[in-house]
């Protein structure tokens, strides 16, 4: 089966040359992502038909996706920032962080986070019930406690190497893989061919001016997402 990350590949092929200044974009669960600068991509794609996406609810700042009714569903939020993703110097750091609970998965994994640099270096994470997979690193497996919220953080000085933290603990030092999609980030129900019930509390990303201040800001803020693609009422 084909990956949904492949749908993203088909949507964005090109080059980006500009470099980002420090910036910070945060979705905090107080409105639908598509009302705050994100593009929703959803459907039930069998090569011809685009049907409804996941059943979504947004309550008390938590966005929940329920695609258990059909493994063919994909429903994710994406943002394209041509030439405006990467750190531009040695005193800057890319940071992405989110809080996610996976309650049920039918199949190996369904919630997804994809990060694509200005130079088309990619990190793809897929979440099962009790583990995540770094899909471009030969499906490297990282376990976590099932059925509860976890805080995740990706930190990178150059968009080619990264550190991954789960609940403030370093769990992986790894590498991006060079593909063909630049300047993109996406999260949500990202796998067609699997189904899930999962919830997001927040999703934030940006370039911070200094590695040290980046971690301070991120840590203090944390205390108050087979074919794949990488949502006011429920659908």
CATH classification of the domain holding 17: 2.60.120
In 75-192, alpha helices (H): none
* Assigned token pair, 189: 């129900």
Identify the DSSP state of 33: G
pLDDT of residue 120: 95
Query: Tens of pLDDT along 133-142?
Result: 999 999 999 9
**Average pLDDT of span 21-50:** 88
Q: Higher confidence at residue 12 or residue 194?
A: 194
- In which residue are the tokens 């201040």 written? 213
Query: Tens of pLDDT along 91-104?
Result: 899 999 999 999 99
Q: Is 202 helix (H, G, I), strand (E, B) or coil?
A: strand
How many C-beta atoms surround the C-beta of residue 216 within 10 A? 12
- Whether 72 is covered by a domain: the verdict is yes
Domain that holds residue 17: 5-46+53-187+197-228
Residue ranges of E strands in 117-194 = 121-127, 131-134, 140-143, 150-156, 161-166, 169-175, 177-178, 184-189, 191-192
- Whether 119 is covered by a domain: the verdict is yes
Q: State yes or no: pLDDT of 19 exceeds 90.
A: no
* Assigned token pair, 56: 């979504």
pLDDT of residue 173: 98
pLDDT of residue 116: 97
Q: State yes or no: pLDDT of 229 exceeds 60.
A: no
- Whether 235 is covered by a domain: the verdict is no
What percent of the chain has pLDDT above 70?
Answer: 78
- Whether 234 is covered by a domain: the verdict is no
* Assigned token pair, 133: 């997979």
Rounded to whole angstroms, how far apart are CA atoms 194 and 211? 37
pLDDT of residue 46: 63
- Whether 99 is covered by a domain: the verdict is yes
Buried b (16+ CB within 10 A) or exposed e, 19-56: ebebeeeebebeebbeeeebebbbbbbeeeeeeebbbb
Query: Tens of pLDDT along 141-176?
Result: 999 999 999 999 999 999 999 999 999 999 999 999
- Whether 117 is covered by a domain: the verdict is yes
- Whether 233 is covered by a domain: the verdict is no
Tally of structural domains, the chain: 1
- Whether 120 is covered by a domain: the verdict is yes
pLDDT band for 204, please (50, 70, 90 cuts): very high
Q: What is the pTM of this model?
A: 0.82
């Amino acid at each position: 089966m084909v990956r949904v990350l492949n749908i993203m590949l088909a949507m964005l092929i090109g080059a980006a040359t500009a470099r980002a200044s420090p910036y910070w974009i945060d979705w905090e669960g107080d409105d639908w992502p598509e009302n705050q600068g994100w593009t929703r991509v959803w459907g039930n794609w069998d090569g011809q038909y685009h049907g409804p996406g996941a059943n979504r609810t947004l309550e008390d700042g938590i966005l929940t996706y329920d695609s258990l009714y059909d493994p063919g569903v994909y429903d994710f939020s994406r943002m394209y920032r041509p030439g405006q993703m990467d750190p531009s110097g040695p005193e800057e750091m890319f940071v992405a962080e989110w809080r996610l609970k996976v309650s049920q998965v039918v199949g190996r994994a369904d919630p997804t986070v994809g990060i694509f640099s200005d130079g088309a270096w990619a990190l793809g994470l897929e979440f099962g019930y009790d583990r995540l997979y770094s899909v471009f690193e030969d499906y490297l497996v990282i376990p976590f406690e099932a059925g509860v919220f976890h805080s995740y953080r990706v930190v990178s000085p150059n968009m080619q190497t990264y550190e991954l933290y789960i609940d403030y603990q370093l769990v992986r030092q790894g590498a991006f893989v060079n593909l063909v999609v630049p300047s993109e980030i996406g999260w949500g129900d990202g796998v067609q061919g699997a189904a899930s019930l999962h919830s997001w509390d927040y999703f934030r990303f940006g370039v911070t001016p200094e590695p040290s201040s980046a971690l301070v800001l991120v840590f203090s803020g944390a205390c108050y997402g087979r074919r794949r693609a990488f949502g006011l009422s429920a659908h």
